[in-house]
Amino acid sequence: MEQRESGFRFFFYLIGFSAIFLAFIYTSVFSYQQYASLRAELTTASSNNDIQLRTAMAMRAAVRERAILLWQMTLLETPEERKQLFNTFYSQGSEYHKSRLTLLNTDLDHPEQIIITKLDKEAANRAPELRTFSELLNNNRVQDFRSELGKVLKDKTTIAGLLDRFISLQQAQNEEIWQDSSHKMEVLLSKLIVRMVLIILGGFLFAVYVMATTSKQNKLIRIANQELRHLACHDNLTGLPNRRFLLHQLDIVLAAAKRKQHKVAIIFIDLDDFKPINDTYGHDIGDQCLQDISNRISKVIRGSDMLGRLGGDEFLLILSEIESSTQAIAVIQKILTIINEDIPIESSTANLSASIGLYIYALEDINAEEAITLADKAMYQAKKMGKNQFYII
């Protein structure tokens, strides 16, 4: 009798262990698949949105530069002088259309398609007026261009406004993706805990095993959350903070500087003639160069300074709590020196340079976006001066 009961208990424990084990295996695999699917979905959506945001910002920059060039051409007195700027004007147009094609190749949702359709329609409708104005500039038929310039700049403002709407939509979508992913992760965690509790209720003898497994799963989920936060705030290639995170941190730094009466240096770094590296050696080598440059710059700055990648071959460096511009200039000179050092590429080497713009924040009433824009303008001045140097605004 006792032997029969012992066998029954053994059989019961075996069934109980098998049921709990199978339940645990099913829960672990199913949760991991959900997490993997969520992460793949977030990575795909973030990558698509990042491309759309970068291309839209490039189009916006091209529109801005073309408007500035038109204004500059009206200030010149002869068609010959104006023609010197027309090459740059048409080059910016090419950049605009190249970025537009890249944007059209991404996965556009319905609201985005509406904006792009409207943008193309507005550009097509306003093209004849721009063409007429260009002919006036070339033929010097009138001396006072203010009326015609006002119309053309108004057209540019309309197109820029549509691009700003698209950029705002992308930023909102990025925030939506993060919030949605966080919500789904919370739901996933809740379901996992419920399942684990049900498994624990299967028997006291398996409680320690179930509790240890739950702890392990919670740790994996915390790590997953950290990875998701890192992906949302950092550049995938260099591991540096991305534009979104830089803007957030710069707002905090500027607010602290205003409160403590300190200066802040915003340094905009753009690599000169980087495109030939990609064209000659391929994008993999280009990516290695960007990683090498980011590592070099990181070695010559303070631990309290923040280096980030804005996109492409553009970097931003924030020097907080500096005494004067001399401090920032010393850092810039170090950066120019290390960027000029040869970069090993396969069996050869490449030599790069950079144009750097410096803006010193001295308690002005501006936000992070405006501060970066000022540093960007200073960088363009450095390029106009001949590259491989810096300009202070």
3-state secondary structure 141-156: CCCCCHHHHHHHHHHH
Q: How far is CA 126 from the centre of its chain?
A: 31
Q: Which amino acid is at 180?
A: D
φ, ψ dihedrals at 123, nearest 5°: -65, -40
| Contact indicator for 308, 315 with CB cutoff of 8 Å | yes
Report which residue type is found at 268.
Answer: F
CA distance 344 to 184: 45
Q: What is the DSSP letter of 202?
A: T
Phi then psi dihedrals of residue 309, to 5 deg: -110, 120
Neighbouring C-alpha atoms within 13 Å toward the C-beta of 45: 21
Distance CA 353, CA 387 (A): 8
Cα angle 273, 278, 280 (rounded to 5 degrees) comes to: 95
Task: Judge contact between 353 and 339, C-beta under 8 A.
Answer: yes
> Contact, 263 vs 323, CB < 8 A?
yes
- Catalytic hit among 313, 342, 365, 376: 313
- On whether the CB atoms of residues 308 and 240 are closer than 8 A, the answer is yes
Q: Quick check: is 164 catalytic?
A: no
**Which residues are annotated as catalytic?**
313
